[in-house]
């Protein structure tokens, strides 16, 4: 795993997990593909403390949902997620395999009935196939299974964003209207980043059961 996306001082032992978190955050918010120095330092602390990667990714979804209720000036970052993560850590408890399987099977059924455009049929098939494979897997590593499921969700949502190209003008207009109260407070790149985050959120909400939060719910119901 390349360390090109992180500062020279970032521990190489954490790069693989950090890359998973970075790519998920960027998929949700858009904008620059790099983490700030503050986010890198916080991420090192979390990984040093062995905070499970799926818990961090679920936290990103939870914070994104809160921001949906009230659009704010700040850019989505790991630092903003800190308080929510601390609350979630205490709820992350292993479940008996039978309950975990039951939750995954219910989620898979919902995914199979999810309507998608023709352009997303292949990505949809890949997503459901991944979930079926992990349900059938004999692995008892709860966090590894969750990480793979979330990765499959991110791949689908990234493809959905790519397929939304024809809707970009409409998405941008809707995002700018939603952020109109903040337009006088944001300038230049800050405004562009805010608009892209809302645009991506609108696309992600077309498939609200395809994200880290949905995986968390399936594994912890």
Give 182-210 pLDDT, tens digit per residue. 999 998 999 999 999 999 999 999 999 99
Rg of the chain over CA atoms, in angstroms? Answer: 18
Whether 99 has a pLDDT exceeding 60, the answer reads no
Whether 92 has a pLDDT exceeding 60, the answer reads no
Whether 1 has a pLDDT exceeding 80, the answer reads no
Q: pLDDT tens-digit profile of 106-164?
A: 999 999 999 999 999 999 999 999 999 998 887 778 889 999 999 999 999 999 999 99
**Is residue 49 exposed (0-12), middle (13-18) or buried (19+ Cβ within 10 Å)?**
exposed
Confidence of residue 58 (pLDDT cuts 50, 70, 90): very high
Where do the H-state alpha helices sit in the chain?
15-29, 37-48, 53-69, 82-89, 97-112, 121-136, 142-163, 168-178, 188-204, 212-220
User: What's the pTM?
Assistant: 0.90
| Gap between the Cα atoms of 215 and 40, Å rounded | 25
| Gap between the Cα atoms of 150 and 57, Å rounded | 8
| Gap between the Cα atoms of 209 and 165, Å rounded | 22
pLDDT of residue 2: 60
Q: pLDDT tens-digit profile of 68-84?
A: 888 888 899 999 999 99
Tell me the backbone φ, ψ of residue 2, rounded to 5 degrees.
-70, 145
What sign results for the dihedral spanned by CA atoms 40, 218, 66, 153? positive
**Averaged pLDDT score across all residues of the chain:** 91
Q: Which residue has the higher pLDDT, 28 or 72?
A: 28
């Amino acid at each position: 795993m390349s360390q090109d996306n992180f500062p020279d001082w970032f521990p190489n032992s954490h790069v693989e997990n950090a890359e998973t978190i970075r790519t998920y955050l960027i998929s949700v918010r858009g904008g620059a593909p790099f983490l700030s120095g503050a986010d890198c330092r916080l991420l090192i602390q979390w990984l040093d403390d062995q905070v499970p990667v799926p818990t961090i990714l679920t936290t990103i979804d939870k914070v994104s949902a809160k921001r949906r209720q009230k659009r704010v000036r700040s850019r989505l970052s790991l630092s903003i997620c800190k308080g929510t993560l601390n609350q979630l850590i205490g709820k992350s408890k292993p479940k008996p395999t039978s309950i975990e399987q039951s939750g995954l099977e219910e989620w898979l059924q919902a995914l199979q009935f999810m309507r998608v455009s023709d352009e997303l049929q292949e990505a949809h098939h890949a997503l459901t196939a991944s979930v079926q494979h992990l349900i059938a897997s004999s692995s008892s590593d709860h966090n590894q299974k969750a990480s793979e499921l979330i990765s499959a969700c991110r791949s689908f949502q990234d493809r959905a964003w790519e397929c939304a190209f024809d809707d970009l003008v409409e998405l941008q207009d809707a995002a700018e209207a939603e952020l109109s109260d903040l337009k006088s407070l944001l300038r230049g790149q800050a405004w562009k980043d805010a608009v892209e985050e809302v645009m991506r959120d609108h696309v992600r909400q077309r498939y609200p059961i395809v994200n880290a939060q949905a995986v968390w719910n399936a594994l912890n119901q």
